[in-house]
Chain A
Amino acid sequence: MQNVSQTSQPALVEYLLRLGDNALILGQRHAEWCGHAPALEEEMGLLNVGLDLFGQARHWLGYAAELISAEGGQGEVDADHLAFRRDAQDFRNLLIVEQPNDDFAVTLGRQFLFDAWHYHLLTGLVEAKDPRVAEIAAKSLKEATYHLRRSAEWVRRLGDGTEESHARMQRAIELLWRFTGELTEFDAVDEAMREVGIAPDPEALTASWRATVEQVLDEATLARPPFDAWMYRGGKQGHHTEHLGFLLAEMQALPRAYPDATVW
């Protein structure tokens, strides 16, 4: 629906969509746990993490929508438009966040691999030259710090737990590993954002993410697959796994059926 390349800051809009879509899609995965979590306390935990992510998505997508709207020609666009009226190929989230919940180990393993990256990315974005990016990052970082503490604790607990929990967490890491290449792969959009002082140094981000992952997996007595393993890629550029379409079908059904509704 929106043509990003027509805005005066196409790279910034792309970058904001990536940040917002990561939070939105992972938040939606968390919402799917509602009524299905292994324990009530963990259900509250999962849904509250999802709620934090939705809040962050609203801030990032809200900023992107302002830039798109200011350009004119596409009418007034807001965060809800971006969340509910785009198709899969318009989404810019990482492949790892759209992967299905599977079991509790996969959900928490996915969360940990993402949190470790999100935490270091946001730490860098707090210093962004764009004040809007810096303030949203500062707000999100507090939440991401807590998320990382929780997900790392679960990886350790399950990895260094029973034979069954260890096997499940090891399976989760191996299942998800092929989607982690994107976390440390940087393209022209990242480069443009780094040049204007928004995105952090990619090499430093890669080193920090790898150090956190190595440390926690080691403490969890889990085997770490090689960083140079074969990796899937393309989510950031809009090439997704088949799972995203199904996720969007559920997430967008109501607002697409009643696009003018203000109360559901």
Chain B
Amino acid sequence: MSDAMQLIDSDRGGLPPAGAEGDVAAVMAVLQEVLDPEVPAVSVVELGIVREVSWVEGRLSVAVTPTYSGCPATEVIEEAIHRALVTAGYADPRIERRLSPAWTTDWITAEGRDKLRAYGIAPPVGSASKRSLLGAEPQVPCPQCGSLETERVSEFGSTACKALYKCRSCLEPFDYFKCL
């Protein structure tokens, strides 16, 4: 990648220097800017899908886990992460897809939940236990008005990770990020 970049004649200077090997915080700062293409309110870090940042013989490796087995955004996200890291000066980063342990909505950060709500998507309620998957309906507060008077319209919303709800107080329909 670095050889290819040098072929481009530019007066804008070279690539910014990459963070030092072992500087995980610098890498996370770059990934914090990579947004989920389906929910562009939260970053891949806030979504909890970045599982590990490491260096193997000097080469940066980032482990990413898919939210759902068939999530069509998986490749797009991996490409976006790769592009962001190369742009930030990391030469030839490796993106590893990791299935285990399986992603859970419990890994969505507190900031991520606030951003989801502000974006109009109700964040997952409670923790992802078997009970929440099989058992009774959770009480989902409306992300618009905060009312608990809400009802589920469909088990699935605009994407596999969401269900469709509607608020009986303000009458707004909204997506609910399912507990998984």
Count residues of chain B with CB under 8 A from any CB of chain A. Answer: 26
Chain B positions 65-104 with a Cβ under 8 Å from a chain A Cβ: 66, 68-72, 99-102, 104
Least CB separation from A49: chain B residue: B156
Dominant SS among interface residues on chain B: loop
A138 to B98: give the CA distance in the assembly, Å. 13
Please, how many angstroms separate the alpha-carbon atoms of A45 and B157 in the complex?
7
Identify B156's interface contact among A48, A54, A56, A139, CB under 8 A: A48
Q: How far is the CB of B100 from chain A (nearest CB, A)?
A: 4
Is there an interface contact between B154 and A146, defined as CB atoms closer than 8 Å? no
Interface residues of A in 43-65 (CB under 8 A from B): 44-45, 48-49, 51-56, 58-59
Query: Among B69, B99, B100, B153, which residue has the most Cβ atoms of chain A within 10 A?
Result: B69
Using A59-B99, A138-B102, A139-B99 as known contacts, say yes or no to A45 and B70 having CB atoms under 8 A apart. no
Given contacts A145-B133, A145-B134, contact A55 B100 (CB under 8 A): no
A44 to B155, CA, bound (A): 9
Given contacts A146-B155, A146-B178, A149-B133, contact A55 B99 (CB under 8 A): no
Nearest B-chain residue to A52, judged by Cβ: B70
Contacts of B178 in A (CB 8 A): 146
* Docked-complex contact A149 and B134, CB < 8 angstroms: yes
Across the interface, do A142 and B102 meet the contact criterion of CB distance under 8 Å?
A: yes
A107 within 8 A of partner (CB): no
Contact B133 A138 (CB under 8 A): no
A contact residues around B164 at 8 Å (CB): 41, 44
Cα–Cα, bound, A42→B164 (Å): 11
The verdict on A54 contacting B101 (CB below 8 Å), with A42-B154, A45-B154 known, is no
Q: Which residue of B lies closest to A134 (CB)?
A: B100
Q: CB within 8 A of B70: which of A44, A54, A146, A150?
A: A54
Q: Mark A226-255, 1 if CB is under 8 A from B, else 0.
A: 000000000000000000000000000000
* A140 close to B (CB within 8 Å): yes
Q: Are A52 and B160 in contact (CB under 8 A)?
A: yes
A interface, by DSSP: helix, strand, loop or mixed? helix
A to B contact number (C-beta, < 8 Å):
74
Interface size class of A (residues with CB under 8 A): 20 to 34
Neighbouring A residues of B12 by C-beta, 8 Å: none
Mask: chain A, 132-158; 1 = CB below 8 Å from B; 0 = not: 001110111011011011100000000
Is B99 a contact partner of A136 (Cβ separation < 8 A)?
A: yes
Q: Contact partner of A150 among B102, B130, B155, B159, CB < 8 A?
A: B155
Query: Are A145 and B130 touching (Cβ within 8 A)?
Result: yes
Is B18 part of the binding interface, using a Cβ–Cβ cutoff of 8 Å? no
Contact across chains for A45 and B130 when beta carbons are under 8 A apart: no
Q: Say which residue of B68, B104, B128, B153 sits within 8 Å of A143 (CB atoms).
A: B68
Beta-carbon nearest neighbor of B135 in chain A: A149
A59–B74 Cα gap in the complex (Å)?
A: 13
On chain B, the residues within 8 Å of A136 by CB distance are 99
B35 contacts chain A at the CB level, 8 A cutoff = no
Question: In the assembled complex, which residues on chain B have CB atoms less than 8 Å from the CB atom of A56?
Answer: 69-70
The answer to whether the Cβ of B158 comes within 8 Å of any Cβ in the partner chain is yes
A119 to B67, CA, bound (A): 19
Instruction: List residues of B (139-163) whose CB comes within 8 Å of A's CBs.
Output: 153-160
CA of A145 to CA of B68, assembled, Å: 13
A142 lies within 8 A of B180 (CB): yes
8 smallest CB-CB distances across A and B, nearest first, come from A55-B70, A55-B69, A41-B154, A135-B100, A51-B70, A48-B156, A45-B156, A48-B160
Query: Which A residues contact B (CB, under 8 angstroms)?
Result: 41-42, 44-45, 48-49, 51-56, 58-59, 131, 134-136, 138-140, 142-143, 145-146, 148-150
Provide 16 A-B residue pairs closer than 8 Å at the C-beta atoms, listed in order of the A residue.
A53-B70, A55-B68, A55-B69, A55-B70, A56-B69, A56-B70, A59-B99, A134-B100, A135-B100, A138-B100, A139-B102, A140-B69, A142-B104, A142-B133, A145-B130, A149-B133
Q: A44-B156, A134-B100, A146-B133 are in contact. List 6 more A-B contacts (CB 8 A).
A: A136-B99, A138-B100, A138-B102, A139-B99, A142-B133, A146-B155
